[in-house]
């Protein structure tokens, strides 16, 4: 009997992510960064997604966040492809914010976000699942932190774009997925969480 949500490959992916996100923490917290990809994996598992989708969820930030002196982008791409397959690597690419465009021109932070939204049009169904799970966990984490704190500004202050930019980003991703016809069951949950985030944002004005 195959148990969805656990396999040797998924265990290997968690170990791989733990190694490459080592010493990284979540914005404005002391939580190990690994808690984020692990929660993305749990969300995807809850919706019954297959190993490749769950593994891509675990690894979705590895290329974007862990390129450093010891690991070039090319090395990370090669390692992911060799260990987890070309399809997982392709999915990770589709949900990775690019620093340069196809012509090698460096993108500004705002352009990176727009590029991400634009590329969702060509992204696979699997990549859209990973995108939705990623944004669901991030937005839900912000909602939970806002509900626990008496100082909402301390939460919004974690983000360079501030409260308005953060709210707009989650709304933009949600609306982009919806506009592309991505109507997977996870969208109902993402819709609810983005609405909660916006409500908390308004209540703090």
How far apart CA 201 and CA 190 sit, in angstroms, is 16
Report how far Cα 92 is from the mean position of its chain's Cα atoms: 10
Residue 190's closest CA among 146, 130, 133, 145? 133
Question: Which listed residue (8, 61, 65, 125) is catalytic?
Answer: 65
64 assigned to active site: yes
Question: Which listed residue (64, 87, 111, 198) is catalytic?
Answer: 64
Q: Which residues are catalytic?
A: 64-65
């Amino acid at each position: 009997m195959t148990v969805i949500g656990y396999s040797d490959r998924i265990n290997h992916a968690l170990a791989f992510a733990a190694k490459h996100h080592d010493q990284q923490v979540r914005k404005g917290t002391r939580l190990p960064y690994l808690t984020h990809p692990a929660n993305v994996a749990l969300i995807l598992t809850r919706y019954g997604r297959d190993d490749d989708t769950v593994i891509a969820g675990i690894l979705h930030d590895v290329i974007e966040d862990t390129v450093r002196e010891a690991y070039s982008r090319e090395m990370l791409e090669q390692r992911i492809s060799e260990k987890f397959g070309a399809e997982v690597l392709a999915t990770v690419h589709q949900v990775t914010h690019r620093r340069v465009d196809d012509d090698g021109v460096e993108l500004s932070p705002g352009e990176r976000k727009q590029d991400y939204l634009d590329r969702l049009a060509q992204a696979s169904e699997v990549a859209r699942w990973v995108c939705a799970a990623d944004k669901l966990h991030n937005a839900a984490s912000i909602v939970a932190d806002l509900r626990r704190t008496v100082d909402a500004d301390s939460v919004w202050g974690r983000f360079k774009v501030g409260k308005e930019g953060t709210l707009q980003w989650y709304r933009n991703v949600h609306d982009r997925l919806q506009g592309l016809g991505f109507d997977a069951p996870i969208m109902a949950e993402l819709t609810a969480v983005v609405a909660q985030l916006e409500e908390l944002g308004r209540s703090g004005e």
